[in-house]
């Protein structure tokens, strides 16, 4: 559809496009900074003025994944020659990789990253799954006090979560849930559930009841109709809800910081803890942050079609 | 062989009673149309038979077996919805196969059945498409195919062609009739369109505010409406209805409408048949536009009247004639009355006149 536009509308359009471009640049700048720092030689990370053009290297990632110590004396040339390429990079920086026998000691980053993945994926699956069933119930059945119940579910989001952090910490410690995956998962499901119920309720309401009724008449039980008809129809909504829940759980910092310290610690509290004392190793931190950004970016990219439809879903009356 | 019987069905939505003591027996292979305005309870009745709505009172019997406590899935009934309700994420083939998959039929047999029904409905070339790629008429065919494919005991249709445009509606009407004759299954069809009802039904059930008004063949409900509601609901253009008074005048009955100075002439037998109803008042005359006879020149029994509005409808005109304070709509040949204000002569055909009790609206059953 190409409607007629006046010259002032065309001008306005150009200004709007320019504004959007500028905003996009502003939003992308930190991401560019993180990505570029992750590949910078250490000494260029803090150079003033900032270095824009440089030869990218993966040394920050090698440092990210290995346990290292500062070397007191220079490296033995024979050992240097025998070392694989990545170990040479560490030697070049005046450090050596810690080993037990021949095995390279990995840093804590892979574990923390894995913790993030476990907690975010499981809590997202649970929150979206429970939210979908709950929303279906609210959408399709007459429930006494439906409006009150829905409001109650929403009200759990009205309190800033960090307000309850200390009581939660004490409770968790009392029942032994602190520093455990399951503890964080329960917490994140609790955060996300109200959001998931409300979002999915909107999507469920959009799915015509006739589809299920047709399935009921076609010889299916309500449960079968739910799985065969409602779920595929709700895929868009489920994808959109999942992305939002995943992002919340993946990025959560405050509770992860308070509730975990070792075994179940996720990446968000871990990465800043590596700044440490003395001169921070910004390139290694940037490498960790850069890798941390990837799952959300990939997840969102994969679901982008669903997401776009999900965001505008229900905006147009059929 | 499927008979359906509804016995004393009552249904409430909260405090509102939407179906009142509904009794109906439907014979095997019969095409029944439930006809009425929206909110008359026809769709609720259909959904109750399907098992999508519970009833508060009464029995639904399919082949003599009470099914009101059975789930929809266990009633072996198929339904076509107004919105077609084709599953958007499945192809046409999968849509039609869906009811068969519930029966754990072998995939070879499913394939055979689907292709057979697709051939009957002439949609074989659409089997790989998704519903979103279909036209309204094709969606309709697929929906009917999905309903017919497992040879259900009965077929329920809820305004199945209501969402189509006028031309397609006419086509699909004929197609539904053709299919019914060919496949032969007990069918209950809900519509608010009386033309659809007349053209499809073996018997029409006319409903109003949760009550059955009349059950009969299309000819019966058209020619012998049981009450004023049926009289005005069935037939297009709508039947003329006017309060009337009848007098004995020089050996004939004279029926006066709308306080006109002169009455229309009717055979004297009307007086005895009305049996005093005429003199007590409260009499309503109904006559379809084709029962109002119009001619240019004066003739015995014809009354001079003035034409007010002329609606040309192509094959015929509808002419509004002023009789006293009432307008009487007459059906004439196209162009017979040249324009508003023209003086013509009109007569009411006694054989096409209906008489109703004004208070109750019930037909007095008077035929001349």
Give the model confidence (pLDDT) of A43-88 as tens digits: 888 888 888 888 888 989 998 898 888 888 888 888 888 888 888 8
Alpha-carbon separation of residue B330 from B89, B229, B259, B285, B351 (angstroms): 53, 20, 19, 15, 15
The reply to whether A70 and A179 lie within a common domain is: no
Q: CB-based contact (8 Å) between B85 and chain A?
A: yes
How does strand B283-287 pair with strand B353-357?
A: antiparallel
Find the CB nearest A208 among B85, B99, B103.
Answer: B85
How far apart CA A43 and CA A13 sit, in angstroms, is: 44
Say what the pLDDT of residue B248 is.
Answer: 84
Nearest residue of B to residue A236, measured between CA atoms: B89
Predicted confidence band of residue A101 (pLDDT cuts 50, 70, 90): confident
Helix (H, G, I), strand (E, B) or coil at B356: strand
* Residue with tokens 């008489």, as numbered in its chain: B355
Q: Which residues pair with B156 in a beta bridge?
A: B79, B188
Range of the domain at B271: 240-357
Residue B366 lies in a domain: no
Mean pLDDT (chain B) is 91
Q: Supply angle C-alpha A256, A260, A263, rounded to 5.
A: 125
Task: Write out pLDDT tens, residues A247-280.
Answer: 999 999 999 999 998 889 999 998 888 776 567 7
* Sheet-wide strand order for B211-216: B77-80, B154-158, B186-191, B31-35, B203-208, B211-216
Give the phi and the psi of residue B185 in degrees, each rounded to 5: -145, 150
Residue B16 lies in a domain: yes
**Within 13 Å, how many C-alpha atoms sit on residue B288's CB side?**
15
How far apart CA A198 and CA A150 sit, in angstroms, is: 8
* Residues of chain B with C-beta less than 8 angstroms from the C-beta of A233: 87-89
Joined tokens for residue A125 = 């699956």
- Give yes or no for a contact between A95 and A64, defined as CB atoms under 8 angstroms apart: no
Q: Where are the alpha helices (DSSP H) in A2-84?
A: 7-38, 59-65, 77-82
Confidence check: pLDDT of A313 > 60: no
The reply to whether B126 and B258 lie within a common domain is: no
The reply to whether B296 and B177 lie within a common domain is: no
Say what the pLDDT of residue A317 is.
Answer: 37
The reply to whether A114 and A260 lie within a common domain is: yes
What sign for the dihedral angle of Cα B148, B154, B158, B160?
positive
The reply to whether A69 and A129 lie within a common domain is: no
The reply to whether B161 and B85 lie within a common domain is: yes
Q: How confident is the model over B161-185, as a mean pLDDT?
A: 86
Q: How confident is the model over B4-17, as a mean pLDDT?
A: 94
CB neighbours of residue A148 within 10 Å: 10
Predicted confidence band of residue B8 (pLDDT cuts 50, 70, 90): very high
Number of domains into which chain A is organized? 3
* Residues of chain A with C-beta less than 8 angstroms from the C-beta of B156: 217
Helix (H, G, I), strand (E, B) or coil at A243: helix
- Give yes or no for a contact between B344 and B338, defined as CB atoms under 8 angstroms apart: no
Number of domains into which chain B is organized? 2
The reply to whether B201 and B84 lie within a common domain is: yes
CATH number, domain with residue B326: 2.40.50.140
Confidence check: pLDDT of A316 > 60: no
The reply to whether B132 and B91 lie within a common domain is: yes
Residue A45 lies in a domain: no
The reply to whether B199 and B60 lie within a common domain is: yes
Range of the domain at A80: 59-104
The reply to whether A138 and A83 lie within a common domain is: no
The reply to whether A186 and A296 lie within a common domain is: yes
Q: What does the DSSP 8-state code read for residue B126?
A: G
Contacts of B280 (CB under 8 A, 6+ apart): none
The reply to whether B275 and B214 lie within a common domain is: no
How far B72 CA sits from the closest chain A CA (Å)? 5
Residue B363 lies in a domain: no
Task: Write out pLDDT tens, residues B82-133.
Answer: 888 899 999 999 999 999 999 888 999 999 999 999 998 889 999 999 998 9
CATH number, domain with residue A156: 1.10.3720.10
How far B224 CA sits from the closest chain A CA (Å)? 37
Confidence check: pLDDT of B278 > 60: no
How far B85 CA sits from the closest chain A CA (Å)? 5
The reply to whether B132 and B30 lie within a common domain is: yes
Number of H-type helices and E-type strands within chain A: 16, 4
The reply to whether A67 and A144 lie within a common domain is: no
The reply to whether B179 and B260 lie within a common domain is: no
Helix (H, G, I), strand (E, B) or coil at B148: helix
């Amino acid at each position: 559809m190409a409607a007629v536009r006046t010259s002032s509308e065309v001008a306005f359009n150009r200004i709007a496009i320019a504004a959007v471009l500028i905003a996009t640049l502003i939003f992308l700048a930190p991401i560019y900074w993180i990505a570029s720092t992750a590949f910078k030689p250490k000494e260029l990370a803090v150079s003033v003025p900032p270095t824009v053009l440089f030869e990218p290297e993966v040394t920050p990632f090698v440092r990210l994944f290995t346990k290292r110590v500062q070397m007191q004396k220079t490296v033995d040339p024979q050992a240097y020659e025998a070392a694989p390429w990545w170990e040479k990079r560490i030697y070049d920086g005046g450090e050596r990789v810690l080993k037990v026998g021949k095995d390279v000691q990995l840093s804590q980053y892979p574990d923390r990253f894995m913790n993030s993945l476990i907690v975010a994926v499981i809590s997202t699956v649970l929150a979206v799954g429970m939210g979908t069933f709950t929303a279906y119930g609210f959408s399709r059945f007459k429930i006494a006090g439906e409006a009150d119940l829905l409001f109650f579910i929403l009200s759990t989001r009205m309190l800033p979560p960090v307000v309850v952090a200390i009581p939660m910490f004490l409770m968790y410690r009392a029942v032994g849930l602190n520093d455990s995956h399951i503890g964080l998962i329960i917490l994140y499901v609790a955060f996300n559930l109200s959001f998931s119920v409300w979002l999915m309720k909107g999507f469920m309401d959009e799915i015509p009841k006739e589809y299920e009724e047709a399935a009921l008449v076609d010889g299916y039980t309500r449960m079968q109709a739910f799985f065969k008809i409602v779920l595929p129809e709700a895929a868009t909504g489920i994808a959109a809800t999942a992305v939002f829940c995943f992002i919340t759980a993946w990025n959560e910092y405050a509770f992860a910081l308070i509730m975990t310290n070792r075994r179940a610690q996720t990446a968000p509290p871990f990465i800043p803890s590596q700044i440490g004392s003395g001169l921070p190793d910004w390139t290694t931190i940037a490498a960790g942050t850069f890798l941390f950004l990837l799952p959300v970016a990939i997840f969102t990219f994969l679901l982008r079609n669903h997401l776009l439809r999900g965001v505008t879903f229900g905006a147009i009356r059929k | 062989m499927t008979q359906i019987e509804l016995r004393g069905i009552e249904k409430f939505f909260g405090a509102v009673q939407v179906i009142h003591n509904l009794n109906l027996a439907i014979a095997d292979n019969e095409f029944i149309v439930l006809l009425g305005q929206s909110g008359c309870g026809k769709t609720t009745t259909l959904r109750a038979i399907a098992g999508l709505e519970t009833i508060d009172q009464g029995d639904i019997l399919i082949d003599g077996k009470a099914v009101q406590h059975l789930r929809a899935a266990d009633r072996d009934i198929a339904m076509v919805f107004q919105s077609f309700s084709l599953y958007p994420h499945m192809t046409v083939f999968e849509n039609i196969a869906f009811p068969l998959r519930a029966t754990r039929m072998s995939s070879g047999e499913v394939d055979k059945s689907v292709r057979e029904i697709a051939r009957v409905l002439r949609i074989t070339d659409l089997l790989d498409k998704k519903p979103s790629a279909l036209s309204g008429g094709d969606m309709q065919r697929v929906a009917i195919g999905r309903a017919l494919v497992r040879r259900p005991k009965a077929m329920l249709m809820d305004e199945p062609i209501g969402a189509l445009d006028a031309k397609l509606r006419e086509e699909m009407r004929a197609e539904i009739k053709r299919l019914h004759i060919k496949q032969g299954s007990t069918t209950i069809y809900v519509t608010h369109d009386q033309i659809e009802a007349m053209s499809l039904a073996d018997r029409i059930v006319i409903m109003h505010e949760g009550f059955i008004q009349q059950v009969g063949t299309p000819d019966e409900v058209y020619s012998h409406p049981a009450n004023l509601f049926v009289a005005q609901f069935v037939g297009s253009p709508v039947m003329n209805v006017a309060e009337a008074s009848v007098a004995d005048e020089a050996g004939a009955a004279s029926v006066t409408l709308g306080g006109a100075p002169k009455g229309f002439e009717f055979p004297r037998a009307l007086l005895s048949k009305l049996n005093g109803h005429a003199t007590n008042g409260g009499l309503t005359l109904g006559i379809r536009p084709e029962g109002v006879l119009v001619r240019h020149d004066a003739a015995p029994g014809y009354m001079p009247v003035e034409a007010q509005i002329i609606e040309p409808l192509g094959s015929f005109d509808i002419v509004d004639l002023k009789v006293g304070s009432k307008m009487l709509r007459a059906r004439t040949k196209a162009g017979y009355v040249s324009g508003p204000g023209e003086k013509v002569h009109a007569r009411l055909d006694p054989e096409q006149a209906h008489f109703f009790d004004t208070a109750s609206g019930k037909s007095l059953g008077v035929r001349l």
